[in-house]
Structure 1
Amino acid sequence: MQKQFISTLIVFVLFSSLAIAQTATDLIVIDAKANGNKFHLETNTTKILTDRNLYDNQPSFINEKQMAFSAADEKGNHDIIIYNFEADKFTNLTKTSELNEFSPAITDCGLYVSAVTVEEDGKQRLWLYPTNFGEPELLYDDIEPVGYYDWYDNRAAMFVLGSPNKLIYPFSKEDILTISQNVGRTVKKKPKSSIITYIDKSDKKEENGKIRYAIKGYDLKKKKTLEFGYTYPGSEDFIWLNKNLLLMGNEEELFYRKAKRSSWESAGKIDLASYQNISQMAYSPKLRKLVVVMDRK
């Protein structure tokens, strides 16, 4: 177990937000509504969903009632947990002492929750975990180490660690497209489209001492690159609220903008005395819930 922990730590330090040796994080939930080009955050509904001095991170809604996330136990093992908003209940989707699972997401078919799994030998590949709690399946045996990803047309666009890091999409086992290189940790499909969006770290500019990276997209149908402006200064995690709006966090404040515009607008602050630094986020338009990850002070 000690050997496994060391190899896991070495791999994930390279991904910063996936690293095991990091500040404890919790999931915070707030009622929110994205409507066309506007986003409203009801800050008076802010609720701490997880309250542990451990790692609870990488939220992802998997249906109209449930969200998946990665959570560490006291021994440093990471599993995928399912939270049911209707029942207010947490359930382990995985409970594997020999493996560590990160970055859960529902597959296009809805039958599996995918996860980046760190295996006993340190390999970091994409696995599928059936929602009926059946036996997991390895998806791409020869693509690793995978860091982040999202789904389009039953295939995963994957951030693969290397020199430099690259974003790939496997049309087939023999036809693997390199979308971009030197990419950031956010990989998100634009809703209701064939566009995979990502951060291009080769395209950046400085503003008041903070870096803004280009948000770009690749249309997998039309096979062309698109541009969606730049990140909020000093931030790297973004999500799509709908097909029009992008959302980012900086310190304790949330910012949104229309994808075709350059200026970010404040949606409000999450004012919790014991928390700071918004990072990853997930939004459910059906539940009208926003879940954010924040560091414990």
Structure 2
Amino acid sequence: MKYATILLTLVALSSYAQNTEVYIFDISIEQEFVMISNGKNVSNNPGYDSQPSFIDNNTLVFSSTNNDQTDIALYNIKKDKKRWVQETQSSEFSPTKVINEDAISLIKQGLDNTQKLYKYGINDSTQIALVEDLIVGYHTWINGETAALAILENNGLSLNIYNTKTKENETVVTNIGRSLHKIPKSDLISYIDKSEPQWKIMSFNTTSKSSDFIINVIESSEDVFWTSKGILVTGVDNKIYKFEPNKDEDWVKIGTLKDESLTNITRISINNDTSKLAIVVDNK
């Protein structure tokens, strides 16, 4: 527990030391060509702004520095307005839409440096603890009651499958990265395997409890995202790459950000109808 506390403190300090911004772009995909245009800084905020996630085609949530801590910001694309989901005394990270609910799940960092999985109402002040007995780093939903968690333990992150109703928990893979995603049109989730120097993107089958290789990460870029059509995308420097599992090819560059000042993509997200691209740029 001492190690975990130190690690959590370092995570918090590194977040506040960063100067990252969240940008949204229009995207248009025509076969192998992608048009990326109309970039807009939607965080426009000193400090740490990161972990963007679309909760619908026109609404983005992300972690954002607010009065020396981190709260969850909600940005309405059509109205070009930003508001805080809830302003609390704790810091919140990794907002994700809860399946079939008007709520988001997130990592809540307590004043005692605990990191628990909570559910917050988007339009009300409700807060419900979902996972309290583990140190949660990142998460994604498998279904309405089961989540894949990246848990801080044994000097790193492990992949756990956790049922929020029954509280059943199982560690299934160790030494993983922070990027966890439900793979669209399947019952699989993807994770980053860091057990060897060459990091790999793997799929995990929650029924058979088995993992399969998808593709190596590109240039140590561990932050990836699945589009609704089952295409894997990632960002390196100012370039966007894709990988289609059903095609016999490697990563393919599909776009470049025209603004030369946006050169260090650290996070990426795309909305369900593939019309909006959100990225995080690290302004070092």
Equivalent-residue separation in structure 2 for 1:245 and 1:115 (angstroms) = 25
2:149 matched residue in structure 1? 158
Q: Counterpart amino acid of 1:51?
A: N
Q: Is the 8 A contact 1:30 1:42 kept in 2?
A: no
1:53 aligns with 2:46: yes
User: 2:200 pairs with 186, 205, 214, which one?
Assistant: 214
1:64 matched residue in structure 2? 57
User: 2:224 pairs with 235, 238, 241, which one?
Assistant: 238
1:28 matched residue in structure 2? 23
Q: Is the 8 A contact 2:9 2:113 kept in 1?
A: no
Structure 1 gaps of 5+ residues are 1-6, 206-212
Q: Is the 8 A contact 1:104 1:115 kept in 2?
A: yes
Scaled by the length of structure 1, the TM-score of the pair is 0.85
Equivalent-residue separation in structure 1 for 2:5 and 2:263 (angstroms) = 26
1:259 matched residue in structure 2? 245
Q: Counterpart amino acid of 2:265?
A: I
Equivalent-residue separation in structure 1 for 2:32 and 2:107 (angstroms) = 31
Equivalent-residue separation in structure 2 for 1:174 and 1:128 (angstroms) = 15
Tell me the CA shift for residue 137 of structure 1: 0.8
Distance 1:243 1:43, change over 3 A: closer
Tell me the CA shift for residue 245 of structure 1: 1.2
| 1:26-175 equivalence runs, <5 A | 26-33=21-28, 38=31, 40-73=33-66, 75-96=67-88, 98-143=89-134, 145-154=135-144, 155-163=146-154, 164-171=156-163, 173=166, 175=168
Distance 1:134 1:49, change over 3 A: closer
Distance 1:40 1:128, change over 3 A: farther
Q: Secondary structure at the match of 1:133?
A: coil
Q: Is the 8 A contact 2:36 2:257 kept in 1?
A: yes
User: 1:13 pairs with 10, 14, 17, which one?
Assistant: 10
Q: How many residues align?
A: 277
Structure 2 gaps of 5+ residues are none
Distance 1:9 1:175, change over 3 A: closer
Tell me the CA shift for residue 200 of structure 1: 0.4
Equivalent-residue separation in structure 2 for 1:244 and 1:140 (angstroms) = 29
Q: Is the 8 A contact 2:17 2:47 kept in 1?
A: no
